[in-house]
A = this chain, B = another copy of it.
Amino acid sequence: MTLSETRLIDKPTIKKDFPFLDGTIFLDSAATSQMPVPVCESMSEHYRLGASNVHRGVYDWSVRATDKFECTRRKVAAFIGAQDERECIFTGGTTDALNLLAQTWGETNITAHDTVVVTSMEHHSNLLPWTQLAERKGANLIWWEVTDEGELDLDQLPEILAAQPKLVALTWVSNVLGTINPVEKLIPQLKEHGATVVLDGAQAVPHMPCDVTKLGADFLAFSAHKMLGPTGIGVLWGRAELLEEMPPCRFGGSMILSVRRDRVRWAEIPHKFEGGTPNISGVHGLGAAIDYLNSIGMDKVRKHEVELVTYAMEQLGQLDGLKVFGPQDPARRSGVISFEFRGIHPHDLATIIGREGVCARAGHHCCQPLMKNLGRQGTTRASFYIYNTREDVDVLVGALKKAGEVFKDVIL
């Protein structure tokens, strides 16, 4: 049973690299993932060898920090299949990346005559920057609806294409439903009709192979802290032609070519968008996280997840009164499982299973419009990553049974 799993992800290594997971069933990686010891060490190293700012100093520490910084940019580019490392901008995270994009590309490209499309499964971070922009500009806003099965409504696609949207904000993987949107099919059609496609990769890049060049997307955003890396660092990838035309929007050190009172000239991409001292140790941590994931292989990461989700859907399916939201086919979903159990409020459910050592999340998961669609205030969500096992699923199921016991006499 766990044999094939063992072949995919080496358990002793996981035990060694995530020692703190011993005794805790961490099922909240969609919120933030755990950091393996090597990544943590790589971050500390920046400080323990002597810290330095990047891109500016002539002494050795600065050279070392800068080299590692720019080397990570190349690593990131390779990891997501970008053709040019200059296309990768370091940001504070996915939210920061998407807001930066709305502030530059959005401000300069969206007018009252344009149509903006958002899906109703977007995370607030890929929703509000665009709805606020559309409101500010008086642009037309279209909501791309989600079917009862928790998938993007493809019947609405003709309507969307006919509207010739200037922008489509689309999550690759839903952080609530686990739905993997068919981006490789959708993007070419959207682009043919003139749309610029912004992919929210926060739940996708950490969990499956990514090739932005093949996808043909225009922009992609993701966060290090959901892929074994640290908080405070993320990436905005964009096609060079687009980035080159975008004005900067965070003004300060390192993003200029020259500053005179009467004339400011901006630096080239990516530096143009990276004003101020960047999160240097964060970048180092992201680089180490990518190394760690590469050492496993993203194919294996994905396979491991499919195995776990398959098992979890089976086991959860056997619980009376348990309903899993989103696609039922494990091949069409990621390691994110939102569910409802006998009408027990997610907060209560998460608290009770928390007492059994299971860390899961309860709430609207920053997707209130989707919750409205589901007719719920929130859901309970379990999400998996490389360190999770079938045993974790078993513990979850046992914990849910206990919750059932506590609430057995409650009339809802």
Contact = CB atoms under 8 A, between A and B. Distances in A.
18 contacts: A20-B48, A20-B49, A24-B50, A34-B51, A43-B43, A51-B225, A59-B350, A59-B359, A60-B359, A92-B276, A96-B250, A129-B252, A131-B264, A231-B279, A232-B232, A232-B278, A260-B369, A279-B279
A48 B53 contact: no
Contact of A53 (B31, B260, B279, B369): B31
A372 interface: yes
B361 A56 contact: yes
A280 B93 CA distance: 12
A230 B281 contact: yes
B281 A231 contact: yes
A403 interface: no
Interface of A: 20-21, 24, 26, 28, 31-35, 37, 39-40, 43-44, 47-53, 56-62, 92-96, 98-99, 102-103, 123-125, 127-129, 131-132, 143, 223, 225, 230-233, 249-254, 256, 258-261, 264, 275-282, 347, 350-351, 354, 358-363, 366, 368-369, 372
A256 B96 CA distance: 15
Contact of A232 (B20, B264, B281): B281
Contact of A253 (B253, B279, B366): B366
Given A252-B125, A259-B369, A277-B225, A35 B51 contact: yes
Pairs of residues from A and B, 10 with the lowest C-beta to C-beta distance, nearest first: A95-B276, A232-B279, A128-B251, A125-B252, A95-B252, A253-B366, A35-B47, A259-B368, A59-B359, A232-B232
A49 B354 CA distance: 17
Given A40-B44, A230-B47, A277-B231, A128 B93 contact: no
Q: Which of A51, A53, A56 has the most CB of B within 10 A?
A: A51
Given A95-B252, A230-B279, 8 more contacts: A28-B52, A28-B57, A51-B231, A56-B363, A95-B251, A95-B277, A232-B233, A282-B282
Contacts of A249: 99
Which secondary structure dominates where chain A touches chain B? Answer: mixed
A256 to B, nearest CB: 6
Nearest to A225: B277
- The copy count of this chain in the complex is 2
B282 A279 contact: yes
B51 A279 contact: no
B92 A360 contact: no
Nearest to A256: B124
Given A48-B20, A95-B275, A277-B32, A123 B56 contact: no
A291 to B, nearest CB: 16
A99 B251 contact: yes
Contact of A368 (B230, B258, B277): B258
Contact of A50 (B34, B128, B251, B260): B34
Contacts of A132: 251, 264
